[in-house]
Chains A and B, each alone.
Chain A
Amino acid sequence: MLLIVLAMLGVVYAAVGQATTADAATDTAATQAQVTAGHKLFQEGCSSCHGLGAQGTQNAPTLIGVGSAAADFQLSTGRMPLAVPGVQAPEKKIQYNDTQIAALAAFVASLSPGPQIPTAKDLDYAGADLALGGQIFRTNCTQCHNFAGAGGALSQGAYAPNLMSASPQEIYEAMLTGPENMPVFSDQTLTPSDKQAVIKFIENIRTEPNPGGWSLGSVGPVSEGLFVWIGGLLALIAAAVWIGAKVR
């Protein structure tokens, strides 16, 4: 009897054990398949600049250690693959579909540990502290991205992009990986809950109505002054011409 029970227990244990190993196996297998697919895509589309081993060349940085978050950010915003070398990779039409991006990200992540694509839990900013997000945004982000997230110029033709259409995942990944000239805001100095607060603040300023009327791009006195000087002066000149014109 005891033997039977033990045997049954053994069978059950083995079955459960096997089931879990099998699950793990499918997981790794999927990842492995993704890595293989990603490697193939990488060799076709990326290796000419980043090198066959992703070690980087004179034309492009190494991808070893940049992590899946960096790959996902660059690919899902269309910045990579690069159309032409230049000061900065512009945002453009996305070249790969979601599966391919996931495969490429898995391949890049397999090279060396690096920042990972944020999970749905990381991106859940519903409970985040909006006021803290504003403080962090004003201390760390406004200098380049403008007080309303409208973006701004850097040096030598580089620029900080407009944040109005960036998804929470893109914002999170950008803070985590520091694409191009953007500094890295690590999870230690800007914790995940700080990052969620920043995302919440950006989402909030996006939907904020504009009591003053047309914001003219929210870039401050430059566009407003230009509009007043050009539009306002033209209107004044037109009025002066009308007042001075002789009536027949």
Chain B
Amino acid sequence: MSDTDNAIAGETGSSTQVVKPPFVANPDLPPHGARRTDVDPKAAKRAEHQVATCFGLSALATVAFCICYVQIPIDAYLPIPFFGAWSASNLALGLTFGLAAFFIGVGAIQWAKKLMFGGEVTQMRHPLASPPEAREEALEQFWAGADESGFAQRKIVRRSLLMAMSLFPIPLIVILRDLGPLPSDSLYTTLWRPGMRVVLDPTEAPVRPSDIPVGGIVSGMPSVLPAVQEEQGTLNARAKDVVILVRLAPEDIKSQQGGTSSQPWDYQGIMCFSKICTHVGCPIALYEQRTHHLLCPCHQSTFDLADSANVVFGPAARRLPQLPITVDAEGFIVAQTAFDQPVGPSFWERA
């Protein structure tokens, strides 16, 4: 035991005295070797010609660009095998401009590599901070300036300046109002009202239950939407109020979001859901009729329409709201009520 301790102590003692060589020796700079262009005037001449040729080609490409710009008609197309028809003008302009830039670069690098001074130069690093005298002087100047301005003594100047400067950013906040007006309750409501017809998007025809076969999907909108869109001059209503109608075999429907046996939310297996994804609001109609899954093409949120449109995959946090439907006296599909919850993506104030 004591032997081992001694041995370790002995080793430690020796290592403090003997400096071991580092694991990898400093390779230092390799010896400077002359390039062929340094020793052979012919090679140097050749390199010079190469560089000049590159710059010359660049100049030619620039001239070609100008000629192509004027000469090639904008609607001319070149059929290129495998790649399809390309716009001749775009192709020519891109190629000539790209080549003009490319050859300047190639020429410059060739020049630097073959002809410019080729020796190695060592430049030592220096500390980033200024020397202590310079720092002291700067500090002195600052305090002298503060003293001379009277910033400390003239309280009213100081305070009014602070007030002015603290108020100055306020316009930047006030002009944010131009992003508005505030949405008020428009995020909570849609155009759907009891008895409003579902019309086809984009043909605006009303729909009868018999028009939708089992396995069918129809993109619909509230019948007043075209008029509202015209009046508002925006697509806001369309972005929010569109729906899809799907028909499932009644025995395939596992659950719905509401309704009683006497007043179900579907009509003979036809169900109506908001078309706006609850994730970030893409219109969603990627419908697999065999699995009854509705996929959002943006981020692959997947809703099971046979089971209350619950989320079965993807980033959406809520199921798609269901619109209760029935038929009116003329046999067209209408909404029983409005949506019982906001449609579309979550928002700040939403509970």
Most buried by A among B94, B203, B207, B285: B203
- What's the A-B contact tally at a CB cutoff of 8 Å? 107
Please determine whether A189 and B288 come into contact, CB atoms closer than 8 angstroms.
no
A65 to B300 alpha-carbon distance, docked (Å): 33
Chain A's closest residue to B295 (CB) is: A155
For B, the interface residue count at a CB cutoff of 8 angstroms equals 49
Say yes or no: is A209 at the interface (Cβ < 8 Å to chain B).
yes
Please determine whether A214 and B83 come into contact, CB atoms closer than 8 angstroms.
yes
Please determine whether A184 and B286 come into contact, CB atoms closer than 8 angstroms.
no
A243 to B106 alpha-carbon distance, docked (Å): 9
Say yes or no: is A211 at the interface (Cβ < 8 Å to chain B).
yes
| Of A8-16, A25-33, A76-84, A135-143, the one touching chain B | A135-143
Q: How large is the interface on A (under 10, 10 to 19, 20 to 34, 35 or more residues)?
A: 20 to 34
Chain B's closest residue to A197 (CB) is: B203
Please determine whether A154 and B35 come into contact, CB atoms closer than 8 angstroms.
no
A211 to B87 alpha-carbon distance, docked (Å): 5
Say yes or no: is A181 at the interface (Cβ < 8 Å to chain B).
yes
Chain A's closest residue to B288 (CB) is: A181
Please determine whether A181 and B291 come into contact, CB atoms closer than 8 angstroms.
yes
Say yes or no: is B336 at the interface (Cβ < 8 Å to chain A).
no
Say yes or no: is B54 at the interface (Cβ < 8 Å to chain A).
no
Among candidates B36, B91, B201, residue contacting A213 with C-beta atoms closer than 8 Å? B91
Q: A139-B219, A189-B200 are in contact. Are A209 and B289 (CB under 8 A)?
A: no
Say yes or no: is A180 at the interface (Cβ < 8 Å to chain B).
yes
Contact residues, B281-303 vs A (CB, 8 A): 283-291, 293, 295, 297, 300, 302
* Residue-wise interface mask of B (194-226) relative to A, using a CB-CB cutoff of 8 A (1 in contact, 0 not): 000000111100011011111111110000000
Say yes or no: is A59 at the interface (Cβ < 8 Å to chain B).
no
The residues of B that contact A156 with a CB separation of less than 8 Å are: 291
Please determine whether B86 and A139 come into contact, CB atoms closer than 8 angstroms.
no
Say yes or no: is A58 at the interface (Cβ < 8 Å to chain B).
no
The residues of A that contact B36 with a CB separation of less than 8 Å are: 248
Please determine whether B211 and A189 come into contact, CB atoms closer than 8 angstroms.
yes
A135 to B203 alpha-carbon distance, docked (Å): 9
Say yes or no: is B138 at the interface (Cβ < 8 Å to chain A).
no
CB distance from A13 to the nearest CB of B (A): 42
Among candidates A139, A186, A210, A248, residue contacting B85 with C-beta atoms closer than 8 Å? A210
The residues of A that contact B286 with a CB separation of less than 8 Å are: 143-144, 154
The residues of B that contact A183 with a CB separation of less than 8 Å are: 215-217, 246, 287, 289
Please determine whether B212 and A178 come into contact, CB atoms closer than 8 angstroms.
no
CB distance from A173 to the nearest CB of B (A): 14
Among candidates B87, B109, B297, B313, residue contacting A209 with C-beta atoms closer than 8 Å? B87
Contact residues, A203-242 vs B (CB, 8 A): 209-215, 242
Q: A180-B290, A247-B113 are in contact. Are A132 and B202 (CB under 8 A)?
A: yes
Please determine whether A209 and B84 come into contact, CB atoms closer than 8 angstroms.
yes
